[in-house]
Amino acid sequence: MPMSRLAFACRSTGGACEWALEADSAEVILLRFAEHQKCAHHLPELTGELRQKATAAIRTT
Ligand SMILES: [Zn+2]
């Protein structure tokens, strides 16, 4: 059974940002998104609200 790919775009959480990625699991996406928030948006960690928004915005490709 092929694994489905998951896709996520930073702008889906409300920002005007072009960063996006694909990964095999939501855990990886949230981890990479947390790193991206730190590097690009100077947010040291994902808040619960942002994590929820991000989780809801993850799409199957
Ligand atoms: Zn971003």
User: Any idea of the CA torsion for 13, 15, 21, 23, to the nearest 10 degrees?
Assistant: -20
C-alpha 42 – ligand 1 centre gap (Å)? 10
Q: Does 53 fall in a domain? A: yes
Q: Does 1 fall in a domain? A: no
The pLDDT of residue 24: 95
Nearest to 34 by CA among 25, 24, 44, 26: 44
Q: Does 21 fall in a domain? A: yes
Q: Does 56 fall in a domain? A: yes
Q: Does 33 fall in a domain? A: yes
C-alpha 28 – ligand 1 centre gap (Å)? 16
CA 54 to CA 61: how far, in whole Å?
16
The pLDDT of residue 1: 56
Task: Answer whether 58's CB lies under 8 Å from 13's CB.
Answer: no
**pTM of the full structure:** 0.89
The pLDDT of residue 2: 63
Convert the pLDDT of each residue in 12-44 to its tens digit: 998 899 999 999 999 999 999 999 999 999 999
